[in-house]
Amino acid sequence: MEIVVVRGEVDIATADAVRADLTGALERSDNVVLDLREVSFMDTQGLSVVIEAQQSCAAGETRFAITRAPDHVHRLFDMIGLTPRLTVVDDPAAAAS
pLDDT value of position 15: 97
pLDDT tens for 25-37 read 999 999 999 999 9
pLDDT value of position 3: 95
Q: How many domains does the chain fold into?
A: 1
pLDDT value of position 93: 85
Say how many C-beta atoms besides its own lie within 10 A of residue 8's C-beta.
Answer: 10
Provide the sign of the torsion angle of the four alpha carbons 5, 26, 59, 93, taken in this order.
negative
Q: Is the pTM of this model over 0.85?
A: yes
Q: What is the DSSP string of the chain?
A: -EEEEEEEEESTTTHHHHHHHHHHHHHH-SEEEEEEEEEEEE-HHHHHHHHHHHHHHHHSS-EEEEEPPPHHHHHHHHHTT-GGGSEEESSGGGGG-
pLDDT value of position 20: 97
CATH code of the domain containing 40: 3.30.750.24
pLDDT value of position 97: 60
Q: Which residues of the chain have pLDDT under 50?
A: none
pLDDT value of position 96: 75
Distance CA 30, CA 63 (A): 6
Q: Which domain holds residue 56?
A: 2-96
